[in-house]
Amino acid sequence: MTFMQMLQAAQQRNGSMLCVGLDPDPARFPAALKGDPSRIFDFCARIVDATADLVIAFKPQIAYFAAHGAELQLDRLMRHMRSAAPHVPVILDAKRGDIGSTAEQYAKEAFERYGADAVTLSPFMGFDSVQPYLKYEGKGAFLLCRTSNPGGDDLQNQRLAGVDGQPLLYEHIARLAQGPWNLNGQLGLVVGATYPAEIERVRQLAPTLPLLIPGVGAQGGDAAATVKAGWRTDAPIVVNSSRAILYASAGDDFADAARREAQRTREQLQAARAAG
């Protein structure tokens, strides 16, 4: 299956819009693992096993592995997810953005080394920084569009004077992703849950694209507003929660607590969909 087909299938099978972000911070691990970077795989695998039937996707953030020299543990985790949860697509959160042969190497890293189903990208350097990823048939790429951090206003919310209609930058990205850049139907967009009005605007401009929506949970995004703004029958939304699930408990029951928090969030999202 293609990444887009996997998303649809996982949404239906698990009844979920929830994505669990895998951002392992050894300083926040439970007591038995705390402060030990060599246990990153152990921690993440327990979270995966506890939540695999509750999610639409998993999203490992590469920086949390690379900062601790844990790339081999990420390799191992990717293989574990393929074995334990083959029905759940994996989005490698890397936010790469470069051109030419460098972009080709980053694409190889994401799709050949790690075997990800999709990757997050920065579109700032233009289409030739995105195109190498689209050469991988069936893989997905989420372009940063309207991110959840306050500093996103510095660029994303500025008007483009030289473009017809003077759209905001994030609106222009949404139009490109829905239109000329989406050569093989592989693109999606990243839009933060902290800006539901912008989610709605992006959905107007990109009605058929999947949206990866971080910011629910520790960042305070409103789950009900997120679903109302972004969910459509034929275009999945992938609502990410990381810290609120990973660190739901500091005790030995961390995996059970993560499952309970994932269930709570999934049910909250589904209730919002039913009410919408």
- What is the rounded CA–CA span in Å between residue 276 and residue 253? 35
Distance, CA of 275 to CA of 268 (rounded, Å): 11
pLDDT band of 273, cuts 50, 70, 90: confident
Q: Are 221 and 194 in contact (CB under 8 A)?
A: yes
The CATH number of 3-275 is 3.20.20.70
pLDDT in tens, 134-163: 999 999 999 999 998 889 999 999 999 888
Tens digits of residue pLDDT in 171-189: 999 999 999 999 999 999 9
Task: Tell me which of 74-83, 115-124, 209-218 is least confident.
Answer: 209-218
* DSSP-based helix, strand, coil % in the chain, nearest 5: 45, 15, 35
For residues 6 and 85, give the distance between their C-alpha atoms in angstroms, rounded to a whole number: 12
Alpha-carbon gap, residue 167 to 69, rounded angstroms: 42
List the structure tokens of 188: 């999606």
Of the candidates 59, 95, 108, 228, the residue annotated as catalytic is: 95
Q: What is the pLDDT of residues 32-45, one digit of tens each?
A: 999 999 999 999 99
Residue 95 known to be catalytic: yes
Question: Number of H helices and number of E strands within the chain?
Answer: 12, 8
Tens-digit pLDDT profile for residues 100-142: 999 999 999 999 999 999 999 999 999 999 999 999 999 999 9
